[in-house]
Amino acid sequence: MLNANSPLASGPSYSFATPPNQTSTNIKQHSFNPYTDNGGSTLGITGDDFAILAGDTRSTSGYNINTRYAPKVFKIGEDDGTGESAHIVLSVVGFAADGNALKERLNAIVKMYRYQHGKPMSVKACAQRLSTILYGKRFFPYYVHAILGGLDEEGKGALYSYDPVGSYEREQCRAAGAAASLIMPFLDNQVNFKNQYIPGSGEGHALEARKATPLPRAEVEQLVRDAFTSAVERHIEVGDGLQMLVVTKNGIEEIYDPLKKD
């Protein structure tokens, strides 16, 4: 549980340093808070033979915008910049500095794995390793919600989502960050078909629920765009640009779409 007085619990914090607090007894209380919330949102969806990880590119601090282009989704384990040698993607949202540090560490580990073993790291192994990295900082965590994407050993889309201390789970879809509460119920409905039933299939408990089937890539891409344009309308920390990384057996494709900048 967070300290109720910490900036993390009491809303947006504007900088690392807080001005000294004057108490009635004339004692100055100094404090330093090592975390900032940089806002933004990320989202991952898998299909039969692909995985999409997306994130907006706005970075905020309180009501200020630091930049309109700060990527939150990264290729992991590439060494030529073409994306052909990489087959894993990572998205991090929360405290951007921790996110970047985490990306750098995982990137180095995945590369070292290939150099030492002469084969690329599987997504399953990478997912377990990321959990270990996060738990390694259990008592001074990376303040991020991470999502890892790629293709599993069978070539099927794989997606793993994490809490800041390394608890993780493989899922079909996951939204994280500032607008996660807005996007996630929409995804439940449109990806996993929650609360949808087959008309005329029965009465009461006999009524048959619509089964979730993997969606085609074009449909998933459009769902991601819809989710983000919706989030942009209602959340001030989300906007500017939408970056998508699509993992297929042919490598990683990057797509950038502009979002509203207001």
Footprint of other proteins on this chain (CB under 8 A)?
Answer: 179, 181-186, 188-190, 194-196, 226-227, 230-231, 233-234
CA distance 244 to 212: 23
CA distance 152 to 162: 18
- Say which DSSP state 199 is in: T
Minimum distance of other proteins from residue 140's CB (angstroms) = 26
Minimum distance of other proteins from residue 29's CB (angstroms) = 25
| Closest CB to other proteins among residues 194, 261 | 194
Minimum distance of other proteins from residue 150's CB (angstroms) = 26
| Closest CB to other proteins among residues 227, 252 | 227
| Closest CB to other proteins among residues 232, 247 | 232
Minimum distance of other proteins from residue 233's CB (angstroms) = 5
Minimum distance of other proteins from residue 239's CB (angstroms) = 14
| Closest CB to other proteins among residues 90, 220 | 220
Query: Which residues, in sequence order, are CB contacts of 61 under 8 Å at separation 6+?
Result: 12, 13, 14, 15, 36, 37, 38
| Closest CB to other proteins among residues 97, 184 | 184
Half-sphere exposure of 125 (CA within 13 A, CB side): 10
CA distance 72 to 215: 24
Question: Dihedral sign, CA of 152, 180, 177, 254?
Answer: positive
